[in-house]
Structure 1
Amino acid sequence: MSTAASTRSPLASSAATNGTQVKPGALVPTNNVTTGDGLTVRARIDPTLTVDDVVKQLCINLQIKEPPSHFALRDENDELVTNDNLRRKIKTKVNLKLVNAPAREAKETAEKLRQRNEKLRLTLFSLQKFIREEQFAQEFLNNDGLAELVDVIDTSSGNTLAYALTAMQNLMELDYGWSTLDDRFIFRVVQILSSPQSLINVCRPATAILKKLVEADPMSAPGPLLASSSRALPSAPPGSVYRYGFHIVFEQMRKEKGLLETVVSRLGSADTAMAQYSMMLINSLLAHASDIRWDEFIAELERLNVRKAVVRLMSLHTIEDLTSCILDFQANIVRVTYRKKTTDVDPEFEPTHAAALDYIWNCSKLDEEVDSTGQQLKWRKLGFDTENILEEFHDVGVLGLDCLKRFVDSDPDFSKVVLEQLSRPEERRCPIGKASNEVVELLAEHWAIFAPGYSTSTTFQPFFLDFFKVHSLATHFFLRMWSESGAAYGDFTRVAALVQSQIKLALRSENVRAWHDVEHDFLECEYRAVRDRQMKELELEDDLLSKVPVRNLRAKLYKESFEFVRQQRIQCLLQGAWFVNALPQSSPRDAVRRPSRPWRFMRLDIGMKYLHYVDSAVKFLVRNGLEDLPERIDVSLISEIATGTCIPPPNVLRDQDGLPTGSPLGPSLLSFSLLSAHEGSLADLIAPDQSRWADWTDGLNMLRRDGGHVASKETAGFVQALTEIGLKIKLLDLSGEMVEIPSGLVAGPPPTNTDFFFSELM
């Protein structure tokens, strides 16, 4: 390596060390290197050297007497120069700085935090950048820096607090070093976040810290991604940061009553990043909620009407950065809905269930009676088949109870509706309670509430988030169809089929339809029109597919198909692919030249923690492994996979590339961006074809532990196709033998004692 002093430097030397000769006029890039004394030298650096060798030679040439191990190189943006990125920075002639080594800088930073002098804010500003570096972080932690940082957070405010919280947020991106954070610290963050007076730049990192703590439960420890939604938490090993989780954080949140209300209110913040952070925290809480506080947490969210706040976000035109978060929220509400549907109603042990049933009965304004056989006559008056309310709600669970309560609550004339039915001959009465539960089943089937944690919706579903409102409309429609068709009790299935047909019609294309159109379809559509349409649909459908056992089989196959496609998508990430390095849509096309390295190969590592990549002027054969991929992106930093965001660089995409570019002024149809909540875009890429685009956008979404939604219609189509093919193959075994499939199975009485065993049949 040779150095030549600038006009500001008294040094003038030219040396060839380590056997490396640099000839005058040789095509070797020259970098400007600035020292801590403000001197700038021009250095021709051999790209085959290691960073340690480069620093050592600089110290020799600049006659620095301190050990070279005390120094390191950074670029103009303070990014640390490593063996992985040295060659790139040399080739692009990046201006470099000779600075303190990360370990030395970390030791001095920890000492400055202890002193709390007037330069504290500047120290914290630097700390939030350097803390992500492993060498810096380890030394910072070894010098008790974490305790000092916690103390600063505990006692500061304003921008000083914002810098300190951001530093803590960045430290927590490491999977070690912060396992000593205690309840007192968590409660301090909760207090900061719940204060309406807190600045936006304070609330953003505070929200991210709580989110990280929620996700740091033992179930999220590094290892294979879990397909199960079980919340049974194993114990964390000593020193592991995966020792927190929902139950730890929520206990502190409960002490600050207004926290959730404040977080939900910030979904409407004019600051998009703040809305995004708040949405991500809510999603993490939903995804990790523990059994013991699940009911309390969900009830509080429902009270705060978080669904309405999210629906309002859907209607905005500046939500590109929030799209993934909203789809995550929809997937989480699918989990919530499924769990409610499969949770039994038990008024004896659940006071909330008993209170809901009492409310429904009191609103009916009926009196209990005794029938001709001397049996209680109560719930049968409301249209249930029996007085066993636990059995009546067995198939729809707490979801059915909540829907019936909301239906009663939304209709001030509910008692009149009940009396009207009771005034009719018994066989002509519409069974209100049974109809309500049937509508719940139909809506659950329409929105594929088949299994926890699986959602193939690629678009916004505002009507799904208004589940209770749709249920009320559909139940009223059921009552109207019953009356207009002159139905008797034996016609229940026929009327249910009419309602199912109308649900499909009213809820079609819900991402673009207005709510008043849905109301019109349920309130204004006449019986004859519904019947005619339904008869045409029956000509094209197989009655077998509507049987309850077949619907349950489809639900099971749907879950298996989703998991199969999910594993396939992640396998594509592990194999890697070539992409075009794209430009943000806002880039002025005329002013941008063809980049020197327009192509990028990207591959996920086996541990699923990093996306490794290399940028190149041309495509080349990339070997297996990571040797050819020197750069990497931390997957944990990806908070959003935004699609349709970028334009191709000029003169890179040609017809023979097979890459549709969209309109000349618009983004490429195959573009996507990996966005970080606090770093902006980590990568802007264009896929080579539709399949590769679907593989990577959905694979990355499925890879995220707080994600799980599907972004492309292609992936959603694969899941549905696999489900239907699997269903038809299963049914061939039955229909080929002309076996009659019953609509339901009745379980026999339980054994009277335990004197029995299950035989192992071979």
Structure 2
Amino acid sequence: MDSINVSELVERLGSDEDAVRKMAVFKLQSNIGDPSFADVFILEGGLTKLRYLALHATGNTLAYSLTSFSRLLEVDKGWEFVNSDLVERVVELVVTHPLVNILRGAMSILVYIVSHPYTTSNKVTQPNSFGFRALKPAIAVYPQFLEMLVSRLSSADHALCANALQLINSLMREAITNDTDTEWPKFIKRLQDLGVIKAAYTLMQSTAMQDLSHPLLEFQALTKVLLRKWRDIPVDLEKPDHRRALKSIHLASNPERVSTPVENGDDGSKKKQHNPTKWRRLGFETESPAWEFEETGYLGMMDLTDYVKRHEDGFQKLLLEQSAKPAEQRCPIARASLAVTAILYEHFEVDKADVDDAKFPLPFESKTNLDKVFKPMILQWTLLHTAGVHAFFRLWQTTGAELEDFLKIVDLIRILLEAVVGGATRTKDVHEVEMEIQEFELPRLRQLQMELLELTYEDTWGHHLRQIRDELNHEALQFVKEQRIRCLLAGAWFPNPQGYKPEAGPVTKQDLKSSEPPSHRYAKLSHNRRYLYYGDFEFRTDEELTLESLQSRIDLTAVTSVTSNVSAPSDANSSTSTLKTSQNPATSTKITIHGHPPGSRPTTPKTHARAGSSNIKPTSSNRKEISLLTLHPQTHSLASEWLDGLLMLLNQQPITAETNKLITMVQDYGLKIRLLNVRFDDMAFAGEAPEIPSREGLDEDYYYDIFGG
């Protein structure tokens, strides 16, 4: 302000030469945003001249004047010069003027006028001078104003799009907050009919997000406010529009009238009446459906009405199909629609929305934050509701559900929408989301349900759940140990390499060159689990051999280690161990049992497992350790059973992937079974006394353990 002579600047604003006025107002627009400069400018009488230029100038002079006036309003000054003439002039420019730089300034002025009650601490003395009411007379003169405003959202100029959307946001917020209950729905519907939602959805998925992030976030917040406002309107059949909406649902169902005799004087006559189950036929619980909209309010009524109107033929066909089924197997269509509305309302956290949230846009640090904050799918509420309702019908049929299973299907739909809609990226097309909802398979949905249950209970009962997991891990380990040992008790055949000699010791190259026929080895654990019996045979039989038929045995107390070419992971509990195999699996996998010769074992034996890369070392001992027995499993499963069976028999940890996978599977199934025995809503139990069961039909020896004591 020190370098600019305000008096001279104001004088130039009133010059007869347009070039002088244009230069003066050009300088003004870059300084008027300073409140101290604005005060001096107003004291010098510049506001009158600036308003005159806004009303009568053209070209760049008009553009600079509008920008200057909007920046003056931004610092909450110059409101005394805002009147109907100025408003009408600016509205006219928005409707008729093609130049972008003029449209930006005009829309900015209207944004401040509409939003003024929200940006000033002073009370408005003239209620019709600000807000949406101030624009209504001008809009009556230029009825195409809203249409032109929405069309600006498709402009290639991002700044113009932002200004247009800011003005639309201001109009919506003003209507929601200050209009009567009958006026604001009409205004919002008019905007929707003009395509504002489609335009905002396109912008929200575009690459211009960084330039439009603030007004788009405000529009998203206002959309939530609208949804909440509709939800908060209770369904009241005394209201004509509510009554008409419910009636339209009934008429769209192609209802049949039934004939019942009604007495009329002395003669019996017949009069057609509505079906006494007309509302239950549509899927309501009773014949007084108004109370069933208590949770979703008028929003639920709107969603159900819209679905019925858009899919009238399918709705009628579905009703016919359901009418042919027993009552308990019919899908309650109306209740399903209301449930999907409630699920979407919860998913988008509409209940947390407030009209003031839209006024303070959040700062964005990166493109990643944009993708997290913006949820363009909320602008496709109607399509998502329809997709959810169709998914409900499909799951109802696929699972063979009955009325008592209604809440279970609701839980599945909640998980489905959370997975698909919640997992959709900002740029994902809504039709892809619809298709994914339609094709989502039930087994995959069940898997997600179990994972969600596990996570939910982990959050709620983390300490108890960890304790249960520890218990289940021990139980699973004992279960698999018994299973593996039972494999040893059952016995198994193992091939011996060609030229095998029955004497102990490694097989030499000279032995392998021998032309003797291959032999077979049979091994079996004794019933008392103290001895491992084995014998070598020329021929293999299909009959299970007895212990008496086996010539040799190993005292397991003499065993010091078990080695194998099974690759054990660094963590013995891992499930990533593998078997080293070659083209001949019959002889490539080897399990060797080491120990002390009979009669020379230590007085206090210590057994150790040693397997390939596991690096388990035997205890140092002055006794000589020899190979007691070598087995060659033919398959991976047999190798896993016998290697881990021997290790677990010696109280060692299993090392093969197959055994560890089996332990994990048993543990997971045990946990899931326990979780399924707990009701989902038990977590919300807030100390209320449980309902006392009836003792009807019970004798005096029977009781309920309510308190778990």
Q: Which interval holds the TM-score relative to the shorter structure?
A: 0.5 to 0.7
CA distance in 2, matches of 1:472, 1:168: 47
Which stretch of structure 1 is more off in the superposition, 177-186 or 431-440?
Answer: 177-186
CA distance in 2, matches of 1:732, 1:429: 28
Counterpart in the other structure of 1:541? 456
Deviations 1:398-440 (A, max 9, x none): 2112211221233242221222222322222111111100111
Residues 460 and 511, structure 1, Cα contact 8 Å, conserved in 2 = no
Q: 1:43-58 alignment to 2 at 5 Å?
A: none
Q: 1:367 aligns with which of 256, 260, 265?
A: 256
Q: TM-score, normalised by structure 2?
A: 0.56
The structure-2 alpha-carbon separation of the partners of 1:346 and 1:116, relative to structure 1 and needing over 3 Å to count, comes to: farther
Q: 1:607-622 alignment to 2 at 5 Å?
A: none
Counterpart in the other structure of 2:131? 245
Q: 2:316 aligns with which of 394, 405, 415?
A: 415
Deviations 1:59-107 (A, max 9, x none): xxxxxxxxxxxxxxxxxxxxx24xxxxxxxxxxxxxxx5x53x2x2354
CA distance in 1, matches of 2:255, 2:683: 50
Counterpart in the other structure of 1:281? 167
CA distance in 1, matches of 2:690, 2:84: 60
Residues 236 and 242, structure 1, Cα contact 8 Å, conserved in 2 = no
CA distance in 1, matches of 2:332, 2:686: 37
The structure-2 alpha-carbon separation of the partners of 1:198 and 1:492, relative to structure 1 and needing over 3 Å to count, comes to: same
CA apart distance, 1:334: 1.1
CA apart distance, 1:326: 1.8
Code of the aligned partner of 2:72: L
Code of the aligned partner of 2:281: K
The structure-2 alpha-carbon separation of the partners of 1:343 and 1:166, relative to structure 1 and needing over 3 Å to count, comes to: same
Q: 1:497 aligns with which of 393, 411, 433?
A: 411
Residues 227 and 299, structure 2, Cα contact 8 Å, conserved in 1 = yes
2:437 aligned with 1:522: yes
Deviations 1:676-700 (A, max 9, x none): xxxxxxxxxxxxxxxxxxxxxxxxx
Q: Which has the higher helix share?
A: 2
Q: 1:155-554 alignment to 2 at 5 Å?
A: 155-195=56-96, 197-217=97-117, 219-222=118-121, 235-236=123-124, 244-250=130-136, 252-253=138-139, 255-289=141-175, 290-292=178-180, 293-351=183-241, 353-367=242-256, 376-411=276-311, 412-453=313-354, 458-512=372-426, 513-541=428-456
Which stretch of structure 1 is more off in the superposition, 521-530 or 432-441?
Answer: 521-530
The structure-2 alpha-carbon separation of the partners of 1:487 and 1:544, relative to structure 1 and needing over 3 Å to count, comes to: farther
SS in 1 for 2:79: coil
Deviations 1:577-609 (A, max 9, x none): xxxxxxxxxxxxxxxxxxxxxxxxxxxxxxxxx
CA distance in 1, matches of 2:35, 2:287: 65
Code of the aligned partner of 1:502: L
Counterpart in the other structure of 1:637? none
Residues 131 and 137, structure 1, Cα contact 8 Å, conserved in 2 = yes
Deviations 1:361-419 (A, max 9, x none): 33222235599999854332211123334322221122112211221233242221222
The structure-2 alpha-carbon separation of the partners of 1:288 and 1:253, relative to structure 1 and needing over 3 Å to count, comes to: same
CA apart distance, 1:165: 1.1
SS in 1 for 2:92: helix
Q: TM-score, normalised by structure 1?
A: 0.53
Residues 296 and 341, structure 2, Cα contact 8 Å, conserved in 1 = yes
SS in 2 for 1:131: coil
CA apart distance, 1:313: 1.4
Q: Which is bigger in relative contact order (C-alpha 8 A, separation at least 6)?
A: 1
The structure-2 alpha-carbon separation of the partners of 1:330 and 1:740, relative to structure 1 and needing over 3 Å to count, comes to: farther
CA apart distance, 1:507: 1.2
The structure-2 alpha-carbon separation of the partners of 1:211 and 1:496, relative to structure 1 and needing over 3 Å to count, comes to: same
SS in 2 for 1:216: helix
The structure-2 alpha-carbon separation of the partners of 1:427 and 1:251, relative to structure 1 and needing over 3 Å to count, comes to: farther
CA distance in 1, matches of 2:259, 2:214: 55
Residues 391 and 438, structure 2, Cα contact 8 Å, conserved in 1 = yes
Alignment: residue pair count: 442
CA distance in 2, matches of 1:244, 1:509: 43
**Structure with larger Rg:** 2
The structure-2 alpha-carbon separation of the partners of 1:132 and 1:537, relative to structure 1 and needing over 3 Å to count, comes to: closer
CA apart distance, 1:732: 12
Identity of aligned residues (%): 31
Structure 1's unaligned 5+ residue stretches are: 1-79, 82-96, 223-233, 546-730, 743-762
Code of the aligned partner of 1:123: A
CA distance in 2, matches of 1:262, 1:413: 37
Code of the aligned partner of 1:180: F
CA distance in 1, matches of 2:291, 2:458: 26
CA apart distance, 1:214: 1.3
SS in 1 for 2:80: coil
CA apart distance, 1:473: 0.2
The structure-2 alpha-carbon separation of the partners of 1:374 and 1:156, relative to structure 1 and needing over 3 Å to count, comes to: closer
Counterpart in the other structure of 2:11? 108
CA apart distance, 1:176: 2.6
The structure-2 alpha-carbon separation of the partners of 1:430 and 1:296, relative to structure 1 and needing over 3 Å to count, comes to: same
Residues 146 and 178, structure 1, Cα contact 8 Å, conserved in 2 = no
Code of the aligned partner of 2:317: K
CA distance in 2, matches of 1:203, 1:216: 20
Structure 2's unaligned 5+ residue stretches are: 262-272, 363-370, 461-680, 693-709
Residues 264 and 304, structure 1, Cα contact 8 Å, conserved in 2 = yes
Deviations 1:478-512 (A, max 9, x none): 11111122222121111111111111111133224
Counterpart in the other structure of 1:635? none
CA apart distance, 1:189: 1.1
